[in-house]
Amino acid sequence: MFGPVATLEPFTDFKAACQVVDRSDFGLQAGVFTRDLHKAHYAFEHLEVGGVVINDIPSMRVDSMPYGGVKASGLGREGIRYALEHLTERRVMVIRHAARLP
pLDDT digits (tens, 9 = 90+) for 4-13: 777 778 899 9
Question: SS3 for 42?
Answer: helix
pTM of the model: 0.70
Tell me: pLDDT of 36 over 90.
yes
Q: What is the DSSP string of 24-62?
A: SSEES-EEE--S-HHHHHHHHHH--SS-EEESS-TT---
